[in-house]
Amino acid sequence: MQRRLANVNGWTVSAAIIMILLFLPNITIVTGIFSPSNENWVHMKEFVLGSFIRTSLILISATAILTISIGLSLAWLITQYQFPLRGFLKWALILPLSIPPFIGAYTYHGIVNYTGVIQTTLRDQFDMVLNPAHFDIMNLPGAIFIYTMFLYPYVYTITRVFLSQQSASLIESARMLGKGPWRTFFQVVIPISRVSIIGGASLVVLEVLNDYGVVKYFGIQTFTTAIFQTWFGLGDIESSIKLAASLMGFVIFILVIEKVLRGRRQYSYSTTKVRPLPLIQLKGWKAGLVTTYGLMILSLGFFIPIAQLIDWMILTFGTIPMDEFLTYVKNSVLVAGISATAIIIFALIVGNFSRLVQGKVAKLLPKLSILGYSIPGAVIAVAVVTAFIALDRFLVPLYQMIGITTTLVLSVSLIMLISAYIIRFFAIGYNSIESGYDKIGTDFRDASRLLGVGVTKTFFKVDVPMLKGAIISGFILVFIDILKEIPLTLILRPFNFDTLSTKAFQYASDEKIMEASQASLLIVGISALAIVVFYKFLEKEPD
Partner 1 sequence: MKKALFLVLAFALLVLSACGNDTTTNKTTSNKESKETKETTETNESKEVNLYTARHYDVDDELYAKFEEETGIKVNVIKGEADELLERIKREGDATEADLFLTADAGRLYRAKDDGLLQAVSSDKLDEQVPANFQDKDQMWYGLTKRARVIIYNKETVKPEELSTYEALTEDQWKGRVLIRGSENVYNQSLLASFIEINGEDKAKEWAAGLVSNFARDPEGGDRDQAKAIAAGVGDVAIMNTYYFGQMLNSEDPEEVKVAEGLGIFFPNQDTTGTHVNVSGAGVVKTSKNKDNAIKLLEFLSAPEAQGTFAEANYEYPVNESVEATELLKSWGEFKEQDISLSVLGDNNAKSILIFNEVGWK
Q: Which of residues 499-528 bind partner 1 (CB under 8 A)?
A: 502, 506-507, 509-512, 514
Residue 105 C-beta: closest distance to partner 1, Å: 10
Handedness of CA 351, 353, 356, 360 (dihedral sign): negative
Q: 20 to 49, contacts with partner 1 by CB under 8 A? A: 40, 43-44, 47-48
Q: Which H or E run contains 525?
A: helix 517-532
Binding piece for partner 1, criterion CB under 8 A, among 264-272, 346-354, 408-416, 427-435: 408-416
**Between residues 77 and 380, which has the closer beta carbon with respect to partner 1?**
380
Of residues 2, 115, 281, 358, which one binds partner 1 by CB under 8 A?
115
Region binding partner 1 by CB under 8 A among candidate stretches 109-117, 172-180, 196-204, 295-303: 109-117
Q: Residue 281 half-sphere exposure, CB side, CA atoms within 13 Å?
A: 2
- Cα–Cα distances (Å) from 147 to 23, 151, 328, 427, in that order, read 28, 6, 26, 19
Tell me which stretch binds partner 1 (CB under 8 A): 78-86, 183-191, 233-241, 419-427. Answer: 233-241
Contact 492, 417 (CB under 8 A): yes
- Which one of residues 149, 471, 523, 526 is an interface residue with partner 1 (CB under 8 A)? 471
Strand (E) positions, 44-184? Answer: 81-82
261/386 Cα distance (integer angstroms)? 37
Stretch that binds partner 1, among 12-20, 77-85, 167-175, 215-223 (CB under 8 A): 215-223
Give the shortest CB-436-to-partner 1 separation in angstroms.
Answer: 14
How far CA 273 is from CA of 165, 167, 437, in Å, comes to: 11, 8, 17
Q: Rounded to the nearest whole angstrom, what is the least distance from the CB of residue 426 to partner 1 in the complex?
A: 16
Closer to partner 1 at the Cβ: 370 or 519?
Answer: 519
- Between residue 162 and residue 201, which ones bind partner 1 under the rule CB under 8 A? none
User: Which amino acid appears at position 441 of this protein?
Assistant: G
Rule CB under 8 A: which of 274-293 touch partner 1? none
CA neighbor of 251 nearest in space, from 203, 194, 215, 191: 203
Q: Between helices 49-80 and 194-210, what is the axis angle to 10°?
A: 140
For 82, phi and psi rounded to 5 degrees? Answer: -105, 125
Residue among 357 and 412 whose Cβ is closer to partner 1: 412
Rounded (5°) CA angle 365-366-372: 105
Q: How far is the CB of 201 from partner 1 (least distance, A)?
A: 27
Looking at 141, 232, 283, 327, which residue binds partner 1 (CB under 8 A)? 232
Cβ at position 429, least distance to partner 1 in Å: 13
Closest CA to 444 of 414, 422, 412, 466: 466
Four-CA torsion 204, 206, 208, 209, nearest 10 degrees: 160
Q: How far is the CB of 345 from partner 1 (least distance, A)?
A: 8
DSSP 44-76: HHHHTHHHHHHHHHHHHHHHHHHHHHHHHHHHH
Restricting to residues 237-266, name those near partner 1 by CB under 8 A. Answer: 237
**387 vs 455, which CB is nearer to partner 1?**
387
Residue 92 CA to residue 527 CA, distance in Å, equals: 11
Beta bridge partners of 82: 281
* CB nearer to partner 1: pick between 188 and 530: 530
Q: Could you tell me if 189 and 76 are in contact, meaning their C-beta atoms sit under 8 angstroms apart?
A: yes
Q: Which is nearer to partner 1, 339 or 374 (CB)?
A: 339
Per CB under 8 A, contacts with partner 1 among 366-405 are 378, 381-382, 385-386, 389, 392-393, 402-405
The answer to the question of residue 8 lying near partner 1 (CB under 8 A) is no
Cβ at position 139, least distance to partner 1 in Å = 7
Task: Specify burial of residue 296 (Cβ count, 10 A radius: 0-12, 13-18, 19+).
Answer: exposed
> What sign has the CA pseudo-torsion 521, 135, 203, 93?
negative
For 76, 108, 173, 183, 380, the CA distances from 180, given in Å and listed in that order, are 14, 39, 12, 5, 48
Convert residues 475-494 into a mask of x (bound to partner 1 by CB under 8 A) and - (unbound): x-----------x--xx-xx
Interacting positions 116-135 with partner 1 (CB under 8 A):
119-120, 129, 132-133
Smallest distance from the beta carbon of 476 to partner 1, in angstroms? 11
Number of residues that bind partner 1 (CB under 8 A): 90
Instruction: Output 378 or 455, the one with its CB closest to partner 1.
Output: 378
3-state secondary structure of 280: strand
> x/- string (CB under 8 A) for partner 1, residues 145-164?
--------------------
Q: Which is nearer to partner 1, 201 or 344 (CB)?
A: 344
CA distance 268 to 192: 9
Q: What is the spatial distance between Cα 68 and Cα 399, in angstroms, rounded to a whole number?
A: 51
Return the number of the residue (172 or 238) whose C-beta is nearest partner 1.
238
**E strand residue ranges, 238-316:** 280-281
Q: Which is nearer to partner 1, 267 or 497 (CB)?
A: 497
Binders of partner 1 in range 298-327 (CB under 8 A): 315-316, 319-321
By C-beta, is 69 or 120 nearer to partner 1? 120
Q: How far apart are CA 509 and CA 420, in angstroms?
A: 23
For residues 30 and 415, which CB has a smaller minimum distance to partner 1 in the complex?
415
CB of 294 to partner 1, least distance (A): 26
